[in-house]
Amino acid sequence: MREPTEAGPDAAAGRGRAALVEGGVEFDDRDAALLRAVDATGSVAGAASDLGRSRSRALSRIETLEGAYGTLVERRRGGEGGGGSRLAASGRSLLDRYDRLQAVLAATAAVPETVLDGTVTAVDGELAVVDTAVGELSGLHGGDGDGADGGAESGWSGGIATGDAVQVRIGADAVTVNDAATAVDPDATSARNRLDGRVSRIDPGETVSTVRIAVGAAEGSDDAPDPDTEVVALITAESVDRLDLAPDDPVSIRWKATATRLVALAE
């Protein structure tokens, strides 16, 4: 399938790679391709031949995977056509799970993000409050107990304590833009982080637009705007039209604390 894209130098520029891990065994894109080929050809031998890989390794790889993920391929030897292999239901759902992970990763790579530096002022369980240039924001940090880090000894610490310097990451797909005039009762929604600002720029896309909202730290002074802090929001072009958004329009943005990730700064 899929033409030789792997050679392209910037084919995966700035992107990432993700794999499922279970029982110490990684489920790779190679493994996904193998399962798909088994599903397509109806046999492990045919799959290996299609992919240009050796049959013995393909089979032993499947056995390794099944040792960690359970039955993936129903193999039958002898019989019609000499036997064959079918993708088991659990194998299919594993593929779906892998695809979802891949989609999420592609999304986080494709969707802009806002990163603010701040200092932790309070920690309450998984939730923490961070003081930033635009005020106090609340978000989640990864320290759910201990097993939060997948890496072995990467040294990455999801744990966060009061006073720590952290990055506040807000995905542009999590930010909701509201008309400033139509104030929403803050008690009626579960979106807790709320800021007022002005549209500073709109990058129109085919169907999705990127809206940058300048959120000045100072609230009273109009002649001393802080152009430094901008929050990015990803909005459908239809919503841009419906809200009639244009540069310099006052807007109110909000996003959920549970959609905000806190990351400890290196050093």
Partner DNA sequence: CTTCGTTGTATCAGCATAGAGACAACGATA
Partner DNA sequence: TATCGTTGTCTCTATGCTGATACAACGAAG
Residue ranges binding DNA (CB under 7 A): 1, 43-46, 52-61, 75-85
Q: Which residues contact 201 (CB under 8 A, 6 or more apart)?
A: 211, 212, 247
Q: Per CB under 8 A, does 89 bind a second copy?
A: no
Contacts of 174 (CB under 8 A, 6+ apart): 255, 256, 259, 260
Please, which residue, 55 or 194, has the CB nearer to DNA? 55
Q: Enumerate residues 217-236 that contact a second copy by CB under 8 A.
A: 233-236
Q: Indicate which of a second copy, DNA, none lies near residue 15 (CB less than 5 to 8 Å, by partner kind).
A: a second copy
The strand pair at 135-141 and 260-264 is best described as parallel
CA distances, 189 to each of 111, 174, 197, 228, 234 (Å)? 25, 15, 20, 29, 20
- CA 143 – CA 261 distance, rounded (Å): 11
22 lies in the site for a second copy, by CB under 8 A: yes
* Residue 101 interacting partner from a second copy, DNA, none (CB closer than 5 to 8 Å by kind): a second copy
Instruction: Give least dist CB 86 to DNA, A.
Output: 9
Task: Tell me whether residue 72 or residue 168 sits nearer to DNA (CB atom).
Answer: 72
Of the two residues 64 and 162, which places its CB atom closer to DNA in the complex? 64
Q: Which residues in 66-85 contact a second copy (CB under 8 A)?
A: none
- Distance between CA atoms of 263 and 267, rounded to whole angstroms? 12
Site string for a second copy, 177-206 (x = CB under 8 A): xxx--x-xx-xxxxxx------------xx
Minimal distance, residue 207 CB to a second copy, in Å: 4
Torsion, Cα of 104, 31, 64, 83 (10° steps): 130
Q: Tell me the site size for a second copy, rule CB under 8 A.
A: 111
Structure tokens at 186: 């803050």
88 contributes a contact to a second copy by CB under 8 A: no
Residue entry with tokens 């008690």: 187
CB distance 63 to 71 below 8 Å: no
Residue of 104, 121, 133, 204 interacting with a second copy (CB under 8 A): 104
Which partner in a second copy, DNA, none is near 44 (CB below 5 to 8 A by kind)? DNA
172 binds a second copy (CB under 8 A): yes
Should residue 160 be labelled a site residue for a second copy when binding is judged by CB under 8 A?
A: no
Q: Which DSSP category does 24 fall into?
A: T
